[in-house]
């Protein structure tokens, strides 16, 4: 299912503890996605993140992906999960964005079906689109030969916004394009903190009971709730939006039935 470095290192964040699940109304899953706007990604450019709003200007009628306090990342059910496609819903139940994986050929799909246990190692090129099909940003996870590689988040033009870099088994360092650490994402608790260890956001997996757990196990469908406590400046805001994609492509994508056999 995965474009996501530090001269300044803060004290290692203390392990957090999960909060009780938030009561968020989940919208119905969406089957359709807008057509991709391009066939490949330009090579990453070391140019730093763009001014304050890396996304295309918001148009009237679209839910605000960058201003919503809660977002639900919803993945359509597939019996054998081979692509990292999602709908991102606003609190009002409207699509705020669509996520499509690019460059997945028929041969690559067949390989993933037969090698479900290696899904988290797969290279992932994701594009996050507005509801009208215009891109917000890209997410790139290289193939993981040994562990989880450094993931990149890029502008629609290919400029580097920042990185997510794995640290041991605890989580990811959130880095700018200049390799400066500005935050941390904890895997166990789902907390996203700044370099002073102040919590900015929290991500949790959405389970509506045993029935949904079975559905996720057999189809690869998944659901994540991202709750923003504050509105941080760029590039932190866009890098936080990429955290659920990083988790799902680097940690979680090994739960369809093929991965259990």
- 136-179: per-residue pLDDT in tens? 999 998 876 666 678 999 999 999 999 999 887 788 999 999 99
Indicate whether 28 belongs to any domain: no
Distances (CA, A) of 41 to 45, 50, 93, 94, 174: 11, 18, 30, 28, 22
- 69-116: per-residue pLDDT in tens? 999 998 876 545 557 789 999 998 999 999 998 875 444 444 444 344
Identify the CA nearest to 225 among candidates 210, 203, 207, 208. 203
Indicate whether 54 belongs to any domain: no
pLDDT at 123: 81
Indicate whether 40 belongs to any domain: no
Indicate whether 114 belongs to any domain: yes
Q: Is 163 exposed, middle or buried (0-12, 13-18, 19+ CB in 10 A)?
A: buried
Q: Is the pLDDT of residue 50 over 90?
A: no
Indicate whether 37 belongs to any domain: no
Q: Is 112 exposed, middle or buried (0-12, 13-18, 19+ CB in 10 A)?
A: buried
Rounded to whole angstroms, how far apart are CA atoms 66 and 55? Answer: 9
Span 122-148, average pLDDT? 86
**Which of 167-171, 199-203, 226-230 has the least mean pLDDT?**
167-171
Banded pLDDT at 38 (limits 50, 70, 90): very low
Give the residue, 205 or 214, on which the prediction is more confident: 205
- 176-186: per-residue pLDDT in tens? 999 999 999 99
Bridge partners of 135, per DSSP, are: 129
CATH of the domain at 89: 2.40.160.200
Across all residues in the chain, what is the average pLDDT?
72
Give the residue, 259 or 9, on which the prediction is more confident: 9
Indicate whether 162 belongs to any domain: yes
Indicate whether 21 belongs to any domain: no
pLDDT at 24: 43
- Percent of the chain, pLDDT > 70? 56
Q: For the chain, what is the domain count?
A: 1
pLDDT at 212: 46
pLDDT at 52: 41
Q: How many separate helices (H) and strands (E) can be counted in the chain?
A: 4, 12
Structural domain including 194 reads 70-255
Other C-beta atoms within 10 Å of 5: how many?
19
pLDDT at 223: 85
- Percent of the chain, pLDDT > 90? 40
Indicate whether 17 belongs to any domain: no
Q: Is the pLDDT of residue 27 over 90?
A: no
């Amino acid at each position: 299912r995965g474009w996501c470095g530090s001269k300044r290192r803060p004290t290692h964040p203390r392990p957090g503890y999960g909060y009780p699940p938030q009561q968020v109304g989940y919208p119905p899953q969406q089957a359709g996605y807008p057509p991709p706007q391009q066939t490949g990604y330009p090579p990453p450019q070391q140019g730093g993140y763009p001014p304050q709003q890396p996304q295309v200007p918001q148009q009237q009628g679209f839910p605000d992906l960058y201003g919503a306090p809660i977002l639900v990342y919803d993945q359509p059910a597939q019996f054998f999960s081979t692509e990292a496609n999602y709908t991102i819903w606003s609190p009002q139940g409207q699509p705020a964005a669509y996520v499509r994986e690019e460059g997945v050929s028929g041969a690559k799909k067949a390989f993933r079906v037969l090698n479900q246990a290696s899904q988290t190692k797969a290279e992932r090129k994701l594009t996050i689109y507005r509801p009208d099909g215009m891109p917000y940003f890209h997410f790139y996870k290289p193939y993981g030969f040994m562990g989880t590689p450094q993931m990149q988040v890029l502008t629609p033009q290919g400029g580097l916004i920042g990185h997510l870099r794995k640290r041991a088994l605890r989580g990811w360092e959130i880095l700018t394009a200049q390799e400066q650490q500005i935050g941390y994402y904890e895997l166990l608790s789902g907390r996203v903190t700044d370099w002073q260890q102040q919590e900015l956001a929290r991500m949790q997996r959405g389970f509506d009971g045993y029935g949904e757990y079975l559905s996720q196990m057999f189809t690869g469908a998944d659901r994540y709730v991202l709750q923003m406590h504050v509105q941080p400046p760029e590039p932190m805001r866009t890098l936080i939006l990429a955290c659920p994609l990083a988790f799902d492509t680097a940690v979680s994508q090994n739960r369809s039935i093929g991965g259990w056999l």
